[in-house]
Chains A and B, each alone.
Chain A
Amino acid sequence: MLKIEHLKKRFGNQPVLDDINLAIDKGEVVCIIGQSGGGKSVILKHVIGLMIPDGGRILIDGEEISSPTKKPSDFEKVRRRLGMLFQGAALFDSKDVGENLAFPLREHTDYSEQKINEIIAEALEMVGLQPSFRLKMPSELSGGMKSRVGLARALVMRPEIMLYDEPTSALDPIMTDKINDLILSLRDRLGMTSVVVTHDIASAYKVADKIAMIYEGKIIFAGTPAEIRASRNPYIQQFIRGQRKLHYVAGAEPDESPGLSRQFDVTEIRQRLTLDRKLRRDRSFDAAARDALTGLMGFQQFSTVLKDEIERSMVEQDPIALALFGIDMLEEVGDRFGQQFCEVVIREVGRKLSLSTRGADSAGRFSSDEFGLILTRIQPEVLATTVEHVRKRLMEISIKAPDGGYLHPAISAGACMCSETCASADVLSHSAGQALVRAKQNGGNRVEVMELPKSQ
């Protein structure tokens, strides 16, 4: 129904859209996701004629509606088929809700006031608002209510395609869910085609039939929510997991059609969602289960998370590894400066470790002088360098000793990849422990990587 072909737009010397291609079928809900300032809203503004493209074109039912040769006045006819909900709803401040809704009807139709009132009441009912809301001023409404009224205002003209610009960006989770339900109900009730621009990945999963991700002015992915979750494209994973940085990802090249070749069945997707929920629950902050000295997860909680991560890695075929870090010669340090100073060293190493991990990785205190780190989405060929990188960061610590000097603790590390045959957290912990022992036996202050035993 709506087709965007090779859309290009520059603001000054800054290219914002660079060859955007997207096809949207009738009755489909398509979410366009991407980082803030990535050009998502610019796409919508081109569709509705608020901007004229520098290149490419946009078609509705095969008819070209936007191209560099079109003028703003050419959009009057096509805008009757489109509705738009703006980020802050963009209600007219000087008019009450009823006047906001009646304004386009009075100007573009010959309806009687009675008919207009009926349409307004119906639109308010569709968005779940009482008819009494029509007398309220926009300043009296909450963010969620404003969004609903904005939606109702767009609905009174009965558009075929609804464009949503960040409809849930400033809303609390409950109101976000209500707006998402509203988008779905409009699709089901009116068969409306919807294009939703958002960076709220949870909302996109909920409402989208298809998700398109924009990156550096291009659509780098277009597929179902299940497909985007399975994508191995590092940028997509970084975005949907909300990670701050791209780390440790082998082969971090954008894949043109990531995940599209994989097929999933419903059971597998349900299993994955269940695992995700479980992981989120278990990872929630539980003060009692945390190590009092370092603030990291204690051994028991760390083991539970490790088991869950192994399960998830099996289902998603998402490689993980376990690295153990040990403080070399801690006993000697204790003998020289006392147990209290040892605790200071352990606390500082734990704090540094928590600062050196990615958002999706999990760190915990494994034993008195050992720390564990679960590395997710890690490839075997970069494991050693990654662990060495973290080890070096831990060794940046400088602690003032009681004798006035500064202690730079030496750290040994052992790591083990969780291969496809890895079915037990104990086996993985044992192998990583053996690697750590070997690192210490070989003089310490180094990294050793071990493979899982073949029999496992």
Chain B
Amino acid sequence: MNPLARFVSRVGAAGISAAANGTVFLRHVYRMAALLVSIVSRFPLMVKNVPLSIEQMYGIGIDSLPLVSVIAVFTGATTVTQAVYQFSGFIPLKYLGLAVCKTLITEIGPVFTSMVVAGRIATAIAAEVGAMKTGEQLDAMTCLNLDPVRYLYVPKMIACMVMMPLLVVWSELIAFISSILTVVFSVKITLFVYFTGLRMLFNPWDLIIGVLKTSVFGAIIALTGCHFGLETRHGAEGVGEATTKAVMTSFVLILIFDFIIAFFVF
């Protein structure tokens, strides 16, 4: 094959591959949108199945507390340590509280907690739904006239949307305590100075948006978990693939929506 023909062949193959990947991407977008619509349209029916949501809230929220707490402890401590290091020689430490406060409540707290929870919950949802699909449990639900969207996906989404803000509040509380302890034991400023910094330029709106946006992140976690669970093929191997895709996609979507929210709200 001459070099020109080889070049054309490679470009053509790359084009076909890109088109195929684009088609797959658009199919995922379409199916996730359709799933989101079908889930949201069944929200009103949830009043009849509150126990299902509470059960999910327990699994998603309460069971995530230990992990979120440990992560929050180190998030708070690391934020203080890093801030002190970055400030040294340039910025007075009386602004340490301000930096920690803004960082934790606007970005690190909500996004970091959401990603940690996504790693735990999106994979769990994808694995559960995938196993139910390959095990014909979803078909069994349909045969019993039990709509899987209503009885399976809606409770998970509601639980994620409700529990994520609560987890973030808890996480930020732990992170602040951790930051205070770090200040006490390793930074040469008084607690009075640190608290003054915390209160400085504190805007409740930052906290409210920071907490409420995690509800959107919760919806993303549930949606990606359910979607990739439903896309599962080929048994156990397929379930593994679904969980990986779910967690990767939820990470990316969380960051994208974090940017969108920041762009429009702040």
> Which A residues are within 8 Å of any B CB, using their own CB?
45, 48-50, 72, 76, 79-80, 82-84, 86-88, 90-94, 103-104, 107-108, 150, 153-154, 157
Contact = CB atoms under 8 A, between A and B. Distances in A.
Contact of A50 (B131, B142, B145): B142
B136 to A, nearest CB: 4
Contacts of A72: 142
**Secondary structure type dominating chain B contacts:** helix
B142 A90 contact: no
B135 A88 contact: yes
Contacts of B146: 103-104, 107
A90 B144 contact: no
B140 interface: yes
A86 B145 contact: no
9 contacts: A45-B139, A50-B142, A50-B143, A72-B142, A79-B143, A80-B145, A87-B136, A88-B135, A88-B136
Contacts of A49: 142
B136 A90 contact: yes
B145 A84 contact: no
Contacts of A92: 132, 137, 140-141
Contact of A76 (B132, B140, B145): B145
Nearest to B55: A94
Interface string B136-178: 1101111111100001000000000000000000000000000
Query: Which of A80, A88, A90, A93 is most buried by chain B, counting CB atoms within 10 A of its CB?
Result: A90
Contacts of B143: 48, 50, 79, 82-84, 154
A123 B171 CA distance: 48
A188 B111 CA distance: 62
Interface string B53-82: 000000000000000000000000000000
A157 B144 CA distance: 9
A76 B139 CA distance: 13
Contacts of A107: 145-146, 151
Nearest to B51: A106
A173 B24 CA distance: 46
Contacts of B144: 79, 103-104, 153-154, 157
B42 to A, nearest CB: 13
A91 B137 contact: yes
B151 to A, nearest CB: 8
Nearest to A50: B139
Contacts of B142: 49-50, 72
Nearest to A49: B142
A91 B135 CA distance: 9
A9 to B, nearest CB: 16
A86 B131 contact: no
Nearest to A104: B144
Interface string B174-186: 0000000000000
The 9 A-B residue pairs with the shortest CB-CB distance in the complex, in nearest-first order: A90-B140, A90-B136, A104-B144, A84-B143, A86-B136, A90-B137, A79-B145, A48-B143, A50-B139
Nearest to A105: B144
Contact of A90 (B128, B139, B145): B139
Contacts of A88: 135-136
B136 A104 contact: no
A153 B139 CA distance: 14
A76 B128 CA distance: 25
Nearest to A51: B139
Given A72-B142, A107-B146, 5 more contacts: A76-B145, A84-B140, A90-B140, A91-B140, A104-B145
A154 B145 CA distance: 11
Contacts of A157: 144
Contacts of A82: 143
Interface in B242-264: none
Contacts of A45: 139
B12 to A, nearest CB: 24
A108 B131 CA distance: 25
A49 B136 CA distance: 14
A293 B137 CA distance: 54
A307 to B, nearest CB: 49
Contacts of B145: 76, 79-80, 104, 107-108
Contacts of B141: 92
A154 B139 CA distance: 13
A49 B143 CA distance: 8
Contacts of A84: 140, 143
Q: Most A CB atoms within 10 A — which of B131, B139, B141, B143?
A: B143
A215 to B, nearest CB: 25
A48 B131 CA distance: 22
Contacts of A86: 136, 139-140
A87 B143 CA distance: 14
